[in-house]
A and B are shown apart, each in its own frame.
Chain A
Amino acid sequence: MQVNSTSENPEQNVPQGWSRERFDAGLSLSAASGTSEVDAELFIRKAFDEDPQKGCELLFRLYYRVLCTHAVRFVYSRDMAEDLVADVFYTFWNTQAFRSVRLSYRSYLFRSVRNRAYNYLLNELKKNDSLESATQHETPPSDRPEPIMHFEELYHKVDELVATLPPQCQKVFLMNRFEGKKSRVIADELHLSVRTVEGHIAKALATLRNGLKDHWVELVLLVCFSF
């Protein structure tokens, strides 16, 4: 896969020539009007009434992909994003949360994923890499005081920070984080020493950490003032 090293917004990272596959559950998200989404949600709600496992499976088929591509905007790692989304679905079953979903399943799942991604980044500042610790502090989606808008600001900020990295550093970082390649493999592909590759990764992570730290201070202040 090719990584565009001068990307300024996320769409440029989409490799050209990739087809945009549709979901295979016979349900489509991209209908012209809003009616088909309502229908899909209604259909799933009926499935939940009959067999909750079936309902969960349908939700998974319908939203797993979009939730992963959304989560990756925050965490910048495909593996991490997929683990995070899978975890949301596991919890969804373990706590039987679908019984208390008042609005749409879609908004519940998106909120959960965004909260988890948010918490993950918050933990990342404490130099803590594990997903477990991110989920420990999770609160139910509705209890969040942060307005919906702050999530967009957050992943845009992450994008911005990645865009400020020098081209080679950015390339290495994306190969390592986004594509999940080991530093040894990157070193071989780019004809660099492993030490250089690791230096780039460390530098990129430090840039993100420091950049987000500042951003967080701003956010916290914003939240404090808005109450």
Chain B
Amino acid sequence: MIPSVTKNLLFDHFAGRTTPLQKRLIEEWSRDEANQETFYQWLAEWEQQAPLYLPETDHALHRYRQHMENRPVVDGVVQQPDQSGHTTRNRPFWTRWLVAASALILLGLTGWLYRKTLLYESYRTDFGETRMFELADGSRVTLNANSLLQVPRIGFGNYSREVLLQGEAYFSVVHTVDDQKFIVKTDKGVDVVVLGTEFSVYARSRGAKVLLNKGKVQVRYEVEKKTGQVFLKPGDLLTIEGQRRPNVRTVIARKYAAWKDHRFLFENTKISELIEMLADIYGLKVEIKSEKLANRTLDGSFQAKNADEFLSVIAELLQITVHRQGHTVLFQE
């Protein structure tokens, strides 16, 4: 004769407090269909008494009601939800197609024209402005002046993380649980592929640069219709100019990412490089009258919040006079 299973015993069982012998007893008992009924009845009661949380019913019920109303039962058969309208019955069938087709063409055309806007969310910085923001996956991007970053509105972080960059940006990429790649694409024939690290990418008219701060990145490039790839170590700076093969050298990483903090670091920097920088960041065109001045180099580190501050520091450092008129600047000894 098997002792009967009590409610208390089952409650203990649900809570994981039964011995193997008691489990055996419950197992025997639950083979009987009537006892299974009791089993679920007490299970419901136990769940009611010791809930892990309190689910919100109203909203879920509302959705369930809608689900059922969209699928009415006719002669015992559930109807699939009907999306088409009922009002166009008396029009010739082809007008509907005509309307649909022209609407589709119009939609397609607008979509094509605005495809970038539709597909990508754009982050843009003005001359002299740097901005930091966070992407949906938690990765952070600091955009240097005069730059554009485009992030897909759909699918970013679902299977891959791809962004498009024009200009210069510093990336601090979060490593995802499923090891998703983060890819920075540029129109300079250089793509940077990473899992989670810190690096900066420069892609402007004169060429492309990738600087790695931490971790490891893979750079894919295309030069003269040939593709290749390079892996960078921390401190590596990769430069591609024109149609030449990429050049990798080790640099002081700080120097190349200092712009993030409105800081500028110069070490044996040519005035010509400085002029490029002024064009990139502030949109300024610099004219130099003397050959001698153009060949000088610059050392030092300073912070500047805007173009005028920058220019006045330069004037001090080089002991020159700087005249600015709108977007044109004149350097004179």
Query: CA–CA, A96 to B176, complex, Å?
Result: 42
One of A54-62, A118-126, A130-138, A211-219 at the interface: A54-62
Q: In this assembly, does B99 line the interface, its C-beta being within 8 Å of a C-beta of chain A?
A: no
Q: In this assembly, does B68 line the interface, its C-beta being within 8 Å of a C-beta of chain A?
A: yes
Give the B-binding residues of A (Cβ under 8 A): 9-11, 13-14, 18, 20-21, 29-30, 34, 37, 52-53, 56-57, 60-61, 63-70, 72-73, 78, 81-82, 86, 89-90, 93-96, 99, 103-104, 106-107, 110-111, 147-149, 152, 156, 159, 178, 183-184, 187, 194-195, 198, 201-202, 205
A-B contacts, 25 of them at CB < 8 A, read A18-B54, A20-B51, A30-B48, A53-B68, A57-B65, A60-B61, A65-B54, A65-B57, A69-B52, A78-B53, A81-B55, A82-B55, A90-B64, A93-B68, A94-B71, A110-B40, A148-B30, A149-B23, A149-B26, A152-B13, A183-B138, A184-B138, A187-B138, A198-B177, A205-B177
- Interchain CB contact under 8 A, A64 and B30: no
- Interchain CB contact under 8 A, A13 and B52: yes
Query: CA–CA, A21 to B53, complex, Å?
Result: 11
1/0 contact string of B18-50 vs chain A (CB within 8 Å): 000001001100110100111111011101111
- Interchain CB contact under 8 A, B15 and A9: yes
- Interchain CB contact under 8 A, B16 and A96: no
- Interchain CB contact under 8 A, B37 and A103: yes
Between B16, B31, B38, B43, the greatest number of chain A beta carbons within 10 A of the residue's beta carbon is seen for B16
Query: CA–CA, A10 to B16, complex, Å?
Result: 9
Find chain A residues with CB under 8 A from B106 CB: none
Find chain B residues with CB under 8 A from A20 CB: 48-49, 51
Task: Find B48's partner among A29, A147, A159 (CB 8 Å cutoff).
Answer: A29
- Interchain CB contact under 8 A, B16 and A86: no
Within 8 A of A (CB), among B42-95: 43-45, 47-55, 57, 60-61, 63-65, 67-69, 71, 73, 76, 78
Q: In this assembly, does B175 line the interface, its C-beta being within 8 Å of a C-beta of chain A?
A: yes
Give the A-binding residues of B (Cβ under 8 A): 13-17, 23, 26-27, 30-31, 33, 36-41, 43-45, 47-55, 57, 60-61, 63-65, 67-69, 71, 73, 76, 78, 138, 174-177, 196
Closest to A159 in B: B16
Find chain A residues with CB under 8 A from B47 CB: 65-67, 69-70
- Interchain CB contact under 8 A, A82 and B36: no
Further 8 A-B residue pairs, CB within 8 A, beyond A11-B15, A69-B51 = A14-B52, A29-B48, A64-B57, A65-B55, A148-B30, A149-B26, A149-B30, A202-B177
Find chain B residues with CB under 8 A from A178 CB: 53
Query: CA–CA, A53 to B177, complex, Å?
Result: 43
Closest to B67 in A: A90
Instruction: From known contacts A93-B78, A110-B44, infer whether A86 and B63 are also in contact, taking CB-CB under 8 Å.
Output: yes
- Interchain CB contact under 8 A, A57 and B61: yes
Query: CA–CA, A57 to B69, complex, Å?
Result: 12
Q: Determine chain B's interface SS by DSSP, over half rule.
A: helix
- Interchain CB contact under 8 A, B175 and A195: yes
- Interchain CB contact under 8 A, B53 and A72: yes
Nearest CB of chain B from residue A45's CB, rounded to whole Å? 14
Find chain A residues with CB under 8 A from B43 CB: 70, 110
Find chain B residues with CB under 8 A from A64 CB: 55, 57, 60-61
- Interchain CB contact under 8 A, A96 and B73: yes
Find chain A residues with CB under 8 A from B33 CB: 103
Nearest CB of chain B from residue A5's CB, rounded to whole Å? 15
Find chain B residues with CB under 8 A from A201 CB: 177
Closest to A202 in B: B177
Closest to A205 in B: B177
Task: Find B196's partner among A73, A184, A195 (CB 8 Å cutoff).
Answer: A195
- Interchain CB contact under 8 A, A78 and B55: yes
- Interchain CB contact under 8 A, A195 and B174: yes
Query: CA–CA, A29 to B40, complex, Å?
Result: 11
- Interchain CB contact under 8 A, B64 and A89: yes
Nearest CB of chain A from residue B15's CB, rounded to whole Å? 6
Query: CA–CA, A7 to B268, complex, Å?
Result: 62
- Interchain CB contact under 8 A, A107 and B37: yes
- Interchain CB contact under 8 A, B39 and A148: yes
Nearest CB of chain A from residue B125's CB, rounded to whole Å? 23
Task: Find A198's partner among B53, B57, B174 (CB 8 Å cutoff).
Answer: B174
- Interchain CB contact under 8 A, B48 and A56: no
- Interchain CB contact under 8 A, A37 and B48: no
- Interchain CB contact under 8 A, A30 and B49: yes
Query: CA–CA, A128 to B30, complex, Å?
Result: 33
Instruction: From known contacts A64-B57, A66-B47, A103-B33, infer whether A73 and B52 are also in contact, taking CB-CB under 8 Å.
Output: yes
Query: CA–CA, A95 to B73, complex, Å?
Result: 10
Closest to A147 in B: B27
- Interchain CB contact under 8 A, A61 and B57: yes
Query: CA–CA, A19 to B184, complex, Å?
Result: 51
Query: CA–CA, A190 to B196, complex, Å?
Result: 21
Instruction: From known contacts A89-B64, A195-B196, A198-B174, infer whether A68 and B55 are also in contact, taking CB-CB under 8 Å.
Output: yes
